[in-house]
Amino acid sequence: MIPFLHQMESVADTITGKLGIRFEKWPVFIAGILALVLAYLIMPSVVAFALAIALFLAPLWLPMLLVNGALIMWYILQRSEFIAAQKYILLEIRPPRNLVKTPLAMETFLTTIHLTGGEATWWARFTGGIRPSFSLEIASFEGQVHFFIWGRAAFRRIVESQLYAQYPGIQIIEAPDYTRLLSAKAPEWEVWGCDFKHTAAVPLPIKTYVEYGLDKVQKEPEQVDPLANLIEFMSSVGKGEYIWLQLVIRAHKGEIYGVSPGSISSNRLNKAGKPYTWKDEADEIIQDIRSKTRDSYTDIFTGEERPGFPNPTKGQMERMAAIERNVGKLAFDVGGRGIYLAKPDKFHGPMIAHLIALFKPFTSEGWNGINSTGWMKRFDDYPWEIGAEKKKQHFRKELVEAYRRRAFFYDPFFEGGLHLKDLMVMSTEELATIFHIPSQSVQAPGLTRIHSATREAPLDLPT
What count of other Cβ atoms lies within 10 Å of the Cβ of residue 93?
A: 21
What count of other Cβ atoms lies within 10 Å of the Cβ of residue 81?
A: 11
> Which of 184-198, 272-286, 303-317 has the least mean pLDDT?
303-317
The number of angstroms, rounded, from the C-alpha of 240 to the middle of its chain's C-alpha atoms is 28
The phi-psi region of residue 254 (left if phi > 0; otherwise alpha if psi is between -120 and 50; otherwise beta) is left
* Domain assignment of residue 30, yes or no: no
Q: Is 385 exposed, middle or buried (0-12, 13-18, 19+ CB in 10 A)?
A: middle
* Domain assignment of residue 130, yes or no: yes
Highest mean pLDDT among 88-102, 149-163, 309-323: 149-163
Contacts of 384 (CB under 8 A, 6+ apart): 20, 21
> Mean pLDDT throughout 38-67?
90
pLDDT confidence bin for 72, thresholds 50/70/90:
confident
Percent of the chain exceeding pLDDT 90 equals 50
* Domain assignment of residue 12, yes or no: no
Quote the number of domains for the chain: 1
Percent of the chain exceeding pLDDT 70 equals 86
> Which of 172-176, 191-195, 359-363, 430-434 has the least mean pLDDT?
359-363
* Domain assignment of residue 460, yes or no: no
Q: Which has more confidence, 441 or 209? A: 209
The pTM for the full model equals: 0.87
Q: Which has more confidence, 264 or 75? A: 75
Q: Which amino acid is at 395?
A: F
The reported pLDDT for the residue numbered 298 is 66
Residue whose C-alpha is closest to residue 234's, from 446, 6, 21: 446
pLDDT confidence bin for 262, thresholds 50/70/90:
very low
SS (H, E, C) 305-329: EEEEEECCCHHHHHHHHHHHHHHCC
> Mean pLDDT throughout 205-228?
81
Q: Which domain holds residue 204?
A: 88-451
426 CB-side CA count, 13 A: 31
pLDDT digits (tens, 9 = 90+) for 112-135: 999 998 888 888 888 889 999 999
Q: Which has more confidence, 260 or 268? A: 268
Q: Are 149 and 167 in contact (CB under 8 A)?
A: no
The reported pLDDT for the residue numbered 32 is 82
Q: Are 143 and 446 in contact (CB under 8 A)?
A: yes
Task: Please say if the pLDDT value at position 201 is more than 60.
Answer: yes
The reported pLDDT for the residue numbered 300 is 67
Q: Are 138 and 446 in contact (CB under 8 A)?
A: no
> Mean pLDDT throughout 377-382?
79
Q: Which amino acid is at 196?
A: F
pLDDT confidence bin for 22, thresholds 50/70/90:
low
pLDDT confidence bin for 410, thresholds 50/70/90:
confident
- Spatial separation of the C-alpha atoms in residues 375 and 67, rounded to whole Å: 33
* Domain assignment of residue 41, yes or no: no
* Domain assignment of residue 7, yes or no: no
> Mean pLDDT throughout 405-424?
85
* Angle at which helices 44-56 and 25-42 cross, to 10°: 120
pLDDT digits (tens, 9 = 90+) for 321-376: 999 999 999 999 999 999 999 999 999 999 999 999 999 999 888 789 999 998 99
pLDDT digits (tens, 9 = 90+) for 384-406: 777 788 889 999 999 999 999 99
SS (H, E, C) the chain: CCCCHHHHHHHHHHHHHHHCCCCCHHHHHHHHHHHHHHHHHHCHHHHHHHHHHHHHCHHHHHHHHHHHHHHHHHHHHHHHHHHHHCCEEEEEEECECCCCCCCHHHHHHHHHCCCCCCCCCHHHHHCCCCCCEEEEEEEEECCEEEEEEEEEHHHHHHHHHHHHHHCCCCEEEECCCHHHCCCCCCCCCEEEEEEEEECCCCCCCCCCCCCCCCCCCCCHHHCCCCHHHHHHHHHCCCCCEEEEEEEEEEECCCCCCCCCCCCCCCCCECCCCCECCHHHHHHHHHHHHHHHCEEEEECCCCCCEEEEEECCCHHHHHHHHHHHHHHCCCEEEEEEEEEEEECCCCCCCHHHHHHHCCCHHHCCCCCCCEEEECHHHHCCCCCCCCCHHHHHHHHHHHHHHHHHHCCCCCCCCCCCCCCHHHCEEEEHHHHHHHCCCCCCCCCCCCECCECCCCCCCCCCCCC
Rg over alpha carbons for the chain, rounded to the nearest Å, is 26
* Domain assignment of residue 64, yes or no: no
- Going from the C-alpha of 339 to that of each of 194, 250, 397, 435, the distances in angstroms are 7, 21, 12, 17
350 CB-side CA count, 13 A: 3
* Domain assignment of residue 435, yes or no: yes
The reported pLDDT for the residue numbered 273 is 84
- pLDDT averaged over the chain? 86
